Structure 1
Amino acid sequence: MKIDYEYLSRIRRAVALYTNKKTSNILDGDFHSIHRGRSMEFDDLKEYNFGDDVHDIDWKSSSRMGSIVVRRYMTDRRHNVMFICDCGDKMMADTDKGQPKKETALMLFGTLAYITGRNGADYALAYPKGEKTTISMFRSGPEHLEKLLYDYEEHIPAQAAISLDKVLDEVVGSINKRMIIIIITDSAGVESLDPKMLRAITKDHDLLIYNIEDAWLTGDHVYDTGIRKYEKLFLSHHAQLHEEEARQKRAMVESFNEMCKQCKIGMTSISQESEIIDKTIDLLERYKHGYYGYFTGTI
């Protein structure tokens, strides 16, 4: 995947991230600040957890207490943005606009991560890999972004043995930080998420979901990724099948919208790379003002 930094730099200032959670880890208000560093007002010590900055380790206190502890401050001027990206055969299909879901997911992650880093935040990536969850460290910068992009691109096609629901649960359970969590998946991934767990997560974290739209199962040139063949025309052009598929998609949108409202989640759909910026701006502005739900076009 070729990274177009000139394109990314042009749209960087078009997007602002906001958080509704007042924590010791994130800035209040507008995300445009590129201030680096933290308040020098010491708060307390806590045991080191995966994802904590190693520069915060208090070695003298660790030696005295017999375990690794880190310093905490009253105000930490950096957001922590966790990207959770889906993998598997389903991500190798096309969107409803005929674009590869894999390329759309990579561009979506790359664009959002670049904007996040350029606006003074640290970000990490988690995705399912085999029977485990791969979780990177929180960092920023071009080298960090490129490494994560290449790692994700390599593992997108691999079928994982664990669900996205399990990945999310492991991320929240293993990282002791307040986070803005951004999930990049498709409709099957969204359906795998447990609303009860989502409600618990949004008590402490901000949660945004990008649903990469699936291609229709009816219409021209319908390819089945499961059997690696094109569907027969008499099935893909069957009028009643198309009507039933449209009905099920409308029901799915209503279900996702209700779940997002109940769990205080912002969610949008992406069908092609050209939609990423406009839909991200719309999603973040709505979320900033407390308008939760699934924001998508009509079917």
Structure 2
Amino acid sequence: MIPKEILKKVREIEIYTRRLVNETVAGEYHSVFKGRGMEFLEVREYQPGDDIRSIDWNVTARMGHPFVKLHVEERELTIFFLVDTSASGNFGTVNTLKGELAVELCAILAFSAIRNNDKVGLITFTDTVEKYIPPKKGKNHVLRVMRELLYFQPQGTGTNIQAALEYLNTMLKRKAVVFLVSDFIASGYEQALRITSRKHDVIPITITDPRELELPNVGFIELEDAETGEQIMLDTFDPDVRKAYRTLALEELAIRERVFRSMKLDVINIRTDQPYLQTLISFFHKRASRY
């Protein structure tokens, strides 16, 4: 039995995010994700006026006269959310936890998808794949996805993006739009991401808290890794400590951005201390300008 507070939270997120979708996001989403592929329909004999580029030369050679391939526009898309539910999602020092923000973002995109008559699926992962929900259409299905993101208690605490991507590739046979939602505090996923991006339209959504980039000047603090439990004491009064922390954080950020750029991936960078709606709109505009 799902607790009443979880159902209440699902309802609150539904009301809030659907309003954003109806007022702002739905049109932007449709302009970008409107089914750009062509699906094979049949082969028939060549007729005057047919594009010679559509001739099926194998069938033509076999039958002794020209045949062409017919295609129809593939309107329906599959939208898949690959969501990091590791322990680091329970961190947040400003307006919201990273994990809560991930749920809101998925809800906005999922409600936009069903308005576009697209299918929505979900994989949650930690250091292992935790949950798989096959893609389907409809509001009730999206609400189920939201309930799982809010209520499901993962078994793992760490992060293994590589394993999640490999699992995705075994489950999805046809091309999909894959939103990979994580703080990307992980390594070793580059090759799996490269393979996945060749088959699917992968869009990383990075979620970052400002304290992951810069320490406050508040004296001695104890930091604990939410995924490993490792603890360290730091003197944040020391400017060299703060500088070293920021330098390391920015270096890791730059490495991640280089990885995404090398694969020509569109990225949505979200921060817990900044409104995310304009970031989403900017992403849609950028994508629409290229298609």
- Structure 1: tracts of 5 or more residues without a match: 26-40, 45-72, 292-299
Q: Which residue of the partner structure matches residue 49 of structure 1?
A: none
Say which SS state the counterpart of residue 240 (structure 1) adopts. helix
> In the alignment, residue 11 of structure 2 is paired with which amino acid?
I
Establish whether residue 251 from structure 1 lines up as the match of residue 260 from structure 2: no
What is the CA–CA distance in structure 1 between the aligned matches of 2:132 and 2:38, rounded to whole Å?
A: 22
Cα separation, partners in 2 of 1:98 and 1:118, compared to 1, 3 Å: same
Could you tell me which residue of structure 2 aligns to residue 34 of structure 1?
A: none
* Bigger-Rg structure (1/2): 2
- TM-score normalised by the chain length of structure 2: 0.71
The change in CA–CA distance for 1:98 and 1:274 in structure 2 (over 3 A counts) is: closer
1:193 corresponds to 2:201:
no
Q: Mark the CA change 1:9 to 1:262 in structure 2 (over 3 Å): closer, same or farther.
A: same
- Confirm or deny that 1:208 pairs with 2:203: yes
Q: Which residue of 2 is the match for residue 50 of structure 1? A: none
- Partners of 1:211 and 1:268 within 8 A in 2: yes
Please state how far the C-alpha of 1:270 moved relative to its aligned partner. 1.6
Distance, in Å, in 1 between the alignment partners of 2:183 and 2:100 is 13
Cα offset for 1:133?
4.8
Counterpart of 2:257, as a letter, is N
Which of 173, 176, 181 does residue 176 from structure 1 map onto? 173
Between Structure 1 and Structure 2, the one with more strand by share is 2
Deviation at 1:74, TM superposition (A): 3.8
- CA separation of 1:160 and 1:282: change in aligned 2, threshold 3 A: same
Q: CA RMSD in A?
A: 3.3
CA distance in 1 between partners of 2:192 and 2:281 (Å): 27
**1:6-45 to 2 correspondences below 5 Å:** 6-12=15-21, 14-15=24-25, 16-17=28-29, 18=32, 22-24=36-38, 42-43=41-42
- State how far apart, in whole Å, the 2-side matches of 1:21 and 1:235 are: 53
Give the Cα–Cα distance (whole angstroms) in 1 for the partners of residues 96 and 232 of structure 2.
18
What is the CA distance between 1:228 and its match in structure 2?
7.6
Give the distance between the partners of 1:129 and 1:185, measured in 2 at CA. Answer: 10
| Cα distance in 1 between the residues matched to 2:267 and 2:123 | 19
CA contact (8 A) 1:113 1:123 kept: yes
- The aligned counterpart of 2:152 is 155
1:210, CA displacement in angstroms? 1.1
* % identical equivalent positions: 13
The answer for the alignment partner of 1:85 in structure 2 is 83
Structure 2: segments with no counterpart, 5+ residues: 1-8, 44-70
Paired with 1:158 and 1:249, the residues of 2 have a C-alpha distance of 28
1:114 and 2:79 correspond: no
